[in-house]
Amino acid sequence: MRHRRTLKTLGRTSAHRKATLANLSSALIENKHIQTTEAKGRVARRMTERLITLAKKGTVHSRRIALERLRQKNAVKVLFEEVVPRFADRKGGYTRLVKLGRRFGDGAPMVVVELVGFEMAAKKQKAKQAKAEAKEKEAKKGKGSEKPQAEEPSKEVKAAKAAKEAKSEKAGKGSKKESKKEAKKEPPKAAKEEKGDKKKSSEDKKKGK
């Protein structure tokens, strides 16, 4: 008989279950929100709320118990220094569970578990991470190449350049043809002038005789 045994086993052994819940609770305390299945989320929510109530005592003994259950020093530090001061005047209901629907593949119901009052903290943390990543990318670009690389022209710009080049080639071919025609026309004129000069010289000779 399971009298007074309300803890869900989650299909794991006791050691595996304790490790899973320790990881989920630590992630919830550090990141202020986590996404998991509904079964694990409900058990992790219960464990986290009990740890927050324990941490409100602020004693060394409570710290040792929290470290034993969370197994991560950073999570314990965040719990006592950031989370507990926010809930000093609150007597319960430290977490919120929001259903997301079923997961693709196995159809498991998914939820988001978050600490009440830390919604803005999560948004600010994401914004800081995005700014830091942008700065790192800019620094890498500056180190890699001093001169900024020119952006690749779009398809429309390339098409316009190709059309201009085609027009310039056609104009060049037309000018070449005209120059050839002029070159062909010039020799006959020169030949006519030479013939006229020869005729004049022959006439002058006859007159001289």
Answer whether 24's CB lies under 8 Å from 46's CB: no
Find tokens 């020799």 and name the residue.
Answer: 187
Position with higher pLDDT, 168 vs 195: 168
CB 38 within 8 A of CB 111: yes
Predicted confidence band at 181 (pLDDT cuts at 50, 70, 90)?
A: low
What are the residue ranges spanned by the domains of the chain?
14-125, 160-209
- Would you say residue 55 has pLDDT above 90? yes
State mean pLDDT over 92-99.
93
Is 0.85 topped by the overall pTM? no
Task: Name residues whose C-beta falls within 8 Å of residue 111's C-beta, 6 or more positions apart in sequence.
Answer: 35, 36, 37, 38, 41, 97, 98, 99, 100
Q: How confident is the model at residue 167 (pLDDT cuts 50, 70, 90)?
A: confident
Q: Cα separation of 37 and 109, whole Å? A: 6
Residue 75 has what pLDDT? 96
C-alpha to C-alpha distance for 116 and 45, rounded to whole angstroms: 12
Domain 14-125 has CATH 3.90.1030.10: yes
Whether 186 has a pLDDT exceeding 60, the answer reads no
Q: Model confidence over 138-165: pLDDT tens digits?
A: 888 877 655 545 556 666 777 777 888 8
More confident residue, 78 or 6: 78
> pLDDT confidence of 99, banded at 50, 70, 90?
very high
